């Protein structure tokens, strides 16, 4: 969901303000924000007598969410000439963003940046703190352009296509709406529904959505049509980017990362037959006629990486593959949607990693998660365990609103069905209690920090679960008996840990106006608007930076202590651009002091074993599936080499990483694209 950046272009030779472009003939338009179909916020769009438009936008997502007010004027082309946005962002940080088109200059400023451009070169300004209505402003501006493609400010271009339409009826009233696909804002197309007057009707954001007030019941119509359009887009990409290797594939001259031993071999020749590794030679061998051959030239051949904390959708799939990630564990999703995605990937309809899904359960309430299944009673929760078990989900993830007293019976019931149990530690419970109640894994490193910060007395359904570790995590004494006893408990009970370290370091080390630490090393490879989106705004550490930085350091020390003590770490992302983020997660592990070869083992055979797939994945071994990728360099010496993927093999499917990146607007890390 990209609410933060939907705006566009303007020219300075036409400053005549035409109020009609803003809102046609209606002075006030109201919209309902939906979370899993239930109202949880709203947007209002008010036209003023002076030609201005005022937009208010807010929603509540488990105690988080934006609350902004926007004032703007548009020129005769429908481009902003004045824009001011105030309030707070999704994380609660202060918003004060301004754009103005002066006589000879466009000028803008926000919590992340400031800049100017000559009037003659000014494009359509893209706001950092946008709202759904601002995306509609952009859509109308592009539609009004002769070639339906406009320049963006600070940089980039955007174009638009109509991809679907629908007629909705209720209470004797009908609306004809059209679905538009906007290219140029994100690696994947951005979709919006407009009515016959080109006013915003609605948008589906997956777990969230927005519709014109009174028409909320039609959100599923929007969702279905958008999913069809997205599927068609990724079908076309799969057809153009996937190469069939045929029955036999040979990779010659690659050094293999032996994930079982944690070492790098001498150059070898690896044979794959019908998608399965069939032979590995360290001596010269004749290549049969008709085989597909990849000349590795000394590159490193690795088993495919695993992301053990994903929330997948089709737009993430290409980023995964381009990063050498062919296997992901989905931690929470719409269960029917995730089943369809798994089927589409398995059939080759779309390209993406194989998905191993957990069944997600939370208690219905004010802070319920916006996905998965919700229960009102323990009996309902136990019934959901059966529902997931019967449909092939291999584990259960619990969330923050679950009653602590429910954990033990749910865990026992799931274990009877050979399902693992993990997730957030519920509010008013600590990690020790969760393990004793039956957790097999603790999700997110803040949940371990909270174990020593009085979690049993905290309402961690709210952002408290972020703020308390940031404010007090640095005070934890890792040599204390309390910490030692907890780690011993994890080791004795074989409890693994999915830290999602990058999201917490991002939070604790936030620097407004600076590129996020997660993307700082690679942002120059992003398309113009994508690079801008990686710049941080005001965060949770505002005014308390030194304290949060100390907590970040203690978090890194805790990660190393867990690993050295024998706790299995499961690298995962729960973050944007998860292929890239996974690599940065692994680099953080190395920065914490874990040797690079051991980090690679965690992301390959260790994760495969935890997902109960070690018999067929996780190492380049005869008899295992050919899920592997080549990187240009030696990742056992420098994990940043993992960005330099050249070829990705997934069974009998072959992908050129550079071409996959270019299809999303990224600059490849190595040559090889067109």
Model confidence pLDDT, tens digit, residues 650-663: 999 999 999 999 99
602: left (phi > 0), else alpha (psi -120 to 50), else beta?
alpha
DSSP element (H, E) containing 338 = helix 335-347
CA distance 486 to 483: 5
With a CB cutoff of 8 Å and minimum separation 6, the contacts of 270 are 250, 251, 254, 256, 277, 279, 280, 281, 301, 620, 628
- What pLDDT score was predicted for residue 22? 38
Contact indicator for 579, 323 with CB cutoff of 8 Å = yes
DSSP letter at 323?
A: T
Beta-carbon neighbour count of residue 134 at 10 Å? Answer: 27
Domain positions in the chain are 19-239, 445-569
| CB proximity list for 180: less than 8 A, separation 6 or greater | 139, 143, 160, 161, 162, 163, 191, 192, 193, 194
Outline where 459-510 has alpha helix (H).
Answer: 464-472, 481-492, 501-508
Q: Which residue has the tokens 């539609």?
A: 143
Tokens 């005549």 locate to 16
Name the 3-class secondary structure at 176.
strand
Q: Structure pTM?
A: 0.89
Ordered mean pLDDT values, 10 residues apiece, the chain (674 residues):
31 30 64 92 95 95 92 92 94 91 88 86 87 96 94 92 94 94 91 96 92 94 92 94 97 98 98 98 95 97 98 93 97 91 92 96 90 91 97 95 98 98 97 98 98 96 95 97 98 98 95 92 90 88 95 98 98 95 98 98 98 97 98 98 98 97 94 62
Q: How far is CA 329 from CA 55, 107, 151, 378, 466, in A?
A: 39, 45, 39, 26, 23
What is the DSSP track for 527-561? -HHHHHHTB--S-TTTT-HHHHHHHHHHHHHHHHH
Cα end-to-end distance, the chain, whole Å = 30
Would you state the structure tokens that stand for residue 518, as one six-digit string?
């997660």
pLDDT for position 538 = 86
Q: In residues, how long is the chain?
A: 674
Q: Is the distance from CB of 111 to CB of 94 less than 8 angstroms?
A: yes
Give the tokens for residue 29: 């338009």
Distance (Å, whole) CA 125 – CA 618? 46
Residue 75, Cβ density class (10 Å: 0-12 exposed, 13-18 middle, ≥19 buried): buried
Distance separating alpha carbons of residues 277 and 46, to the nearest angstrom? 63
| Rounded distance between C-alpha atoms, residue 221 and residue 204, angstroms | 9
Nearest-angstrom CA–CA distance, 97 and 69 = 10
* DSSP assignment string, 127-174: -SS--HHHHHHHHHHHHHSTTSEEEEESS-EEEEEEEEEEEEEETTEE
Give the closest residue to 621 by CA, choosing from 250, 259, 249, 273.
Answer: 259
Tokens of 87: 């309030």
How far apart are the C-alpha atoms of 263 and 600, rounded to whole Å? 10
pLDDT at position 19: 34
The first and second tokens of residue 554, run together, are 């203690």
pLDDT of res. 26 = 62
Question: What is the token pair recorded at 155?
Answer: 């940089």
Residue among 147, 351, 132 nearest 237 (CA):
351
In SS3 terms, 202-252 reads as EEECCCEEEEECCCHHHHHHHHHHHHHHHHHHHHHHHHHHCEECCCEEEEE
Residue 585 phi, psi (nearest 5): -60, -45
How far apart (Å, rounded) are the C-alpha atoms in residues 577 and 13?
A: 39
The answer to whether 223 and 231 are in contact (CB under 8 A) is no
Q: What is the per-residue burial (b if ≥16 Cβ within 10 Å, else e) of 46-57?
A: bbeeebbbebbb
Tell me how far apart the alpha carbons of residues 104 and 205 are, in angstroms, rounded to a whole number. 38
Helix axes 464-472, 545-565, angle to 10 degrees: 90
């Amino acid at each position: 969901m990209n609410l933060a950046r939907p705006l566009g272009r303007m020219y300075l030779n036409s400053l005549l303000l035409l109020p009609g472009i803003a809102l046609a003939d209606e002075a006030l338009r109201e919209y309902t924000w939906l979370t899993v179909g239930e109202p949880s916020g709203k947007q209002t769009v008010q036209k003023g007598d002076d030609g201005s438009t005022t937009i208010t936008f807010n929603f509540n997502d488990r105690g988080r969410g934006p609350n902004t007010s926007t004032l703007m004027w548009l020129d005769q082309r429908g481009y902003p000439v004045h824009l001011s946005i105030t309030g707070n962002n999704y994380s609660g940080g202060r918003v004060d963003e301004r754009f103005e088109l002066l006589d000879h200059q466009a000028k803008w400023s926000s919590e992340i940046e400031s800049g100017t451009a000559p009037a003659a070169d000014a494009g359509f300004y893209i706001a950092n703190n946008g709202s759904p209505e601002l995306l509609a402003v952009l859509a109308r501006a592009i539609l009004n352009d002769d070639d339906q493609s406009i320049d963006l400010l600070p940089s980039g271009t955007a174009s638009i296509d109509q991809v679907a339409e629908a007629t909705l009826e209720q209470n004797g009233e009908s609306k004809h709406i059209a679905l538009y696909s906007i290219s140029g804002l994100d690696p994947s197309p951005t979709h919006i529904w407009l009515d016959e007057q080109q006013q915003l009707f609605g948008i589906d954001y997956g777990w969230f959505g927005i519709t014109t007030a009174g028409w909320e019941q039609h959100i599923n119509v929007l969702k279905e049509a958008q999913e069809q359009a997205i599927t068609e887009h990724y079908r076309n990409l799969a057809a153009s980017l996937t190469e069939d290797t045929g029955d036999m594939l040979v990779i010659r001259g690659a050094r293999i990362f032996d994930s079982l031993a944690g070492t790098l071999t001498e150059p070898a020749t690896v044979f794959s037959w019908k998608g399965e590794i069939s032979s590995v030679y360290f001596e010269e061998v004749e290549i049969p006629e008709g085989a597909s051959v990849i000349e590795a030239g000394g590159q490193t051949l690795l088993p495919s990486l695993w992301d053990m904390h994903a929330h997948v959708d089709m737009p993430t799939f290409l980023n995964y593959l381009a990063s050498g990630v062919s296997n992901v564990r989905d931690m929470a999703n719409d269960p029917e949607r995730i089943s369809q995605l798994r089927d589409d990937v398995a059939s080759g309809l779309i390209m993406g990693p194989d998905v191993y899904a957990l069944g997600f359960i939370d208690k219905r309430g004010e802070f319920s998660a916006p996905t998965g299944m919700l229960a009102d009673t323990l009996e309902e929760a136990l019934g959901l365990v059966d529902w997931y078990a019967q449909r092939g989900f291999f584990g259960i993830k619990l969330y923050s609103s679950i009653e602590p007293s429910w954990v033990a019976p749910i865990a026992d019931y799931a274990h009877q069905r050979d399902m693992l149990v993990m997730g957030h530690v519920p509010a008013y419970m600590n990690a020790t209690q969760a393990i004793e109640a039956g957790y097999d894994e603790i999700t997110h490193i803040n949940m371990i920090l909270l174990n020593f910060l009085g979690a049993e007395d905290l309402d961690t359904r709210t952002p408290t679960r972020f703020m308390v570790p940031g404010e007090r995590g640095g005070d934890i004494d890792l040599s204390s008996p309390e910490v030692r006893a907890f780690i011993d408990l994890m080791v004795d009970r074989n409890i693994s840990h999915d830290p999602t370290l990058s999201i917490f370091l991002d939070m604790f080390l936030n620097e407004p106006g600076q590129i996020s630490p997660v993307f700082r090393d690679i942002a120059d490879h992003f398309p113009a608007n994508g690079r801008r989106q990686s710049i941080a705004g005001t965060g949770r550490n505002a005014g308390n930076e030194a304290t949060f930085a100390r907590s970040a350091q203690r978090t890194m020390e805790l990660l190393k202590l867990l690993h050295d003590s024998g706790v299995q770490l499961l690298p995962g992302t729960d973050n944007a651009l998860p292929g890239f983020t996974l690599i940065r997660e692994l680099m953080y592990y190395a920065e914490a002091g874990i040797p690079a070869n051991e980090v690679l083992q965690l992301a390959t055979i260790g994760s495969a074993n935890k997902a109960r797939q070690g018999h067929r994945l996780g190492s380049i071994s005869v008899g295992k599936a050919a899920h592997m990728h080549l990187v240009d360099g030696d990742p056992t010496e420098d994990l940043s080499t993992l960005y330099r993927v050249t070829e990705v093999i997934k069974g009998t499917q072959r992908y050129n990483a550079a071409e996959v990146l270019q299809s999303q607007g990224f600059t490849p890390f190595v040559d090889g694209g067109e």
